[in-house]
Chain A
Amino acid sequence: MKKKKVLVVEDDSNLRQALVEFLETDNFSVVSATDGENAITLTKDNMPDIVLLDIILPKKDGFDVIRELKSDEKTKDIPIVLLTNLGSLSDIEKALELGATTYLVKGDYQLKEVVDKIKEILFYQK
């Protein structure tokens, strides 16, 4: 079965590395971005199966990225999992309204649990 492709968008290098390494050892193909603009470009160029997106990012923030991806015919169906340490009701409501599939507060989840959530979304989809 073809490897599933994940785009990891995270500007903190420690967190990004940990996510990328864990995903790769779990047989995912991984691409990563460190800012909002790059996230949008990479999504359009690589068409990942799923996007892990932080909210606080340089250049464009997570909300802008969701808006952009959801308004483009090509990318609007790619599931977006918001992975962030902001956890207020207002942030979460905003993200879900914009079209994020789900919202995970980084600090509450182990890497394994994040990957389990990704698998749940990918394998319930098709």
Chain B
Amino acid sequence: MKKRWFVNDFNIKKQAEELGVSVWQAPSLLFLAMGVVSVIVMLVIYFISKNHTSPEYLVLAEVFVVTTIFVAGNTIITSLERLAQINKMKSEFVAIVSHQLKNPLTGINWDIELLISKYKDGLTQKQLDVIKKINNSNILMTRLVNDLLDVARIDQGNLFVSKEKFDIKEVIKKIIVKNDLLAKQMNIKIELDIPEDIPQIVGDEKRLEVAIDNLFSNAVKYNKEGGLVSIEIKKEKKHLEFCIKDTGIGIPDNEQDQIFEKFYRSEKAIRKETGGTGLGLYIAKNIIEECGGKIWFKSYEGEGTEFCFTLPLA
């Protein structure tokens, strides 16, 4: 777990890291320095002018202040230009990776689909089992690539969510089936508290499937042997409220305000399962919020966690 660095309230070290420059080039520090220099020079001028009346000192002081401002300003502008360039490279990187990596992964996915749905004749069960395993690995790879690309897009404010009406019940069913194997392995019981007729919600069906799957699979993954995961859906006036509760390891108090951060993984989570990117909650939160919802949670270490979120009705 990263220790928090507090250089001072202006978070200069963090800013320097994010811009990729040394602490002495961080804009906040430079502004502070400029301000301090200006104040000092003005005090010096004041005291000097009290004892001398020659303008040379004034001019000298002016020159000093202006030089400081130019140097500081120039360094700041250089940092900003560098940042703009890095941003541009990031966009190009995302576009290239999208195309180069996702095309072959899609190719594998579609060819397996063709094999299983149209060219199944003559394949033994054993062969079909192996193909299913290849498919699962491919699904994992695709998911990871998608997660990384989502994160890059979220950072650039470029995440796309469509606004369509759809049935969330179907999505929930898919997610439960997806996580069925894992739940069985850990002997987890799944409880549903969902009203019979749920009105359609508005949002991006595919992305919300990813978001909710992240929450649900966490509830299963970080649970105790023989534990419980419950999904509750409540109908409100303008939205649906979802709650996914587990009897798992819980999130320690001191980690709770970092849990939605990119790449953040709780110590306990890492100890329980080494795989995991720390992107799931970051992405889920962004998708839900882009779709017009809110997300929050309650957690007690050693007892369990409950994540709740809302999604607008159609």
Q: Which residues of A contact B (CB under 8 A)?
A: 12, 14-15, 18-19, 21-22, 25, 56, 85-90, 92, 105-108, 110-112
Given contacts A85-B106, A107-B142, is CB(A21)–CB(B114) below 8 Å? yes
Cβ of B103: which chain A residues have Cβ within 8 Å of it? 12, 15, 85, 106
- Pairwise interchain contact B113-A89, C-beta atoms closer than 8 A: no
Question: Interface residues of A: mostly helix, strand, loop or mixed?
Answer: helix
- Pairwise interchain contact B160-A85, C-beta atoms closer than 8 A: no
- Pairwise interchain contact B118-A22, C-beta atoms closer than 8 A: yes
Residue B146 lies at the interface, judged by CB distance under 8 Å to chain A: yes
Cβ contacts B137-154/A at 8 Å (1 or 0 each): 000001001100100010
Cα separation A119 to B5 with both chains bound (whole Å)? 57
Could you tell me the distance in whole angstroms from the C-beta of B251 to the nearest C-beta in chain A?
30
Could you tell me the distance in whole angstroms from the C-beta of B132 to the nearest C-beta in chain A?
15
Could you tell me the distance in whole angstroms from the C-beta of B170 to the nearest C-beta in chain A?
13
**Contact with A86, one of B99, B110, B206 (Cβ below 8 angstroms):** B99
Cα separation A85 to B145 with both chains bound (whole Å)? 12
User: Given known contacts A89-B159, A107-B145, what 19 new A-B pairs fall within 8 Å (CB)?
Assistant: A12-B103, A14-B111, A18-B110, A18-B111, A18-B113, A19-B110, A21-B114, A22-B114, A56-B99, A85-B98, A88-B98, A88-B153, A88-B158, A88-B160, A105-B206, A107-B106, A107-B109, A107-B142, A111-B114
**Contact with A110, one of B91, B113, B156, B160 (Cβ below 8 angstroms):** B113
> 10 A-B contacts, Cβ less than 8 Å apart?
A12-B103, A15-B107, A15-B110, A18-B111, A18-B114, A86-B95, A107-B105, A108-B146, A111-B113, A111-B114
Given contacts A85-B102, A90-B158, A107-B102, is CB(A12)–CB(B107) below 8 Å? yes
Highest count of chain A CB atoms <10 Å: which of B103, B110, B117: B110
Cα separation A89 to B243 with both chains bound (whole Å)? 29
Residue B19 lies at the interface, judged by CB distance under 8 Å to chain A: no
Given contacts A22-B118, A89-B158, is CB(A108)–CB(B153) below 8 Å? no
- Pairwise interchain contact B158-A15, C-beta atoms closer than 8 A: no
Could you tell me the distance in whole angstroms from the C-beta of B167 to the nearest C-beta in chain A?
15
Residue B94 lies at the interface, judged by CB distance under 8 Å to chain A: yes
Q: Which residue of B lies closest to A106 (CB)?
A: B106
Could you tell me the distance in whole angstroms from the C-beta of B234 to the nearest C-beta in chain A?
29
